[in-house]
Amino acid sequence: MADFILINSPNSTAVAGGCRALQYGDGLFTTMRVSQGEIALWSLHLARLQYSARRLGFVEPDWQQLSAWLQVQARQMTADCVFKLLISRGIGGRGYAADPKAEVSCYLYQAPMPDYRALKAAGLKVGLAKLRLAAQPALAGLKHCNRLEQVLLKQELAGTALDDLVVADSNDLVIEGSAANLFYQLHGHWYTPPLDKCGVAGVMRSHIMQQQPQIAERPLALHELPLLSAMFFSNALLGIAAVRELDGRPLPMAAVHSLQQQVLC
């Protein structure tokens, strides 16, 4: 069983103080685009939630019931919007130790859909982040609620005139953007960094790789960035956005636009 709680509504229920997602970041979340009453890429969002819950040893909610509840909420939306679903391990347990009998809590947040059209038309101006991601293979790929690294990255980004940052790990290997996955073209081939040590495995990343199976995972060292001929960022809300400038160097966007025409987002 699970509690389904709608936030940002007149009858919303406050998050309980004992919620483990609030106390320890002991939870999962996913951010979804809702268009014409449907949740885009829901099957991929659901698959990642299920995989992540099992990796972290959650008592899993009734996924069918959760899906039906979300679909009811989506059909009530009269305009495109954003759904953020947060799943907490629940309430209870002393200190870090969880109560194995606790029921998970599912919180749904709603927000207006950002307008990325001008940004995508112009292309992204990106630089290199000073902050490095820590390696933790046990959490790699999961969109868990421990996101302080991303909070610090957004603070760093706010102090620049850039659209986003290329983020590397402590070994100077490129991983992702501040809130997006990235793809790069090298010697005429498309790649994306592996996410086995850190980073978030985005649903749009999975969607792109399903539709473009020639795209392979390949580590990208920071010193290789001057060799790249194209790059783009992706997430569930942004879709695909070409990079027009990388660390002060102009990048052509034609190859990204060509790939974009082949991917149904």
Catalytic center residues: 31, 143, 176
Cβ neighbours for 85, distance < 8 A, ≥ 6 positions apart? 29, 30, 32, 45, 49, 70, 106, 107, 108, 109
Q: How far apart are CA 258 and CA 175, in angstroms?
A: 24
Which amino acid, one-letter code, is at 196? D
Cβ neighbours for 33, distance < 8 A, ≥ 6 positions apart? 39, 40, 41, 80, 82, 113, 236, 237
The DSSP symbol for 19 reads: B
Contact status, residue 186 vs residue 217, Cβ threshold 8 Å:
no
Neighbour count for residue 222 (Cβ, 10 Å): 14
Q: Which residues pair with 100 in a beta bridge?
A: none
Helix (H) or strand (E) holding 148: helix 148-158
Signed CA dihedral, 152, 81, 63, 108: sign only: positive
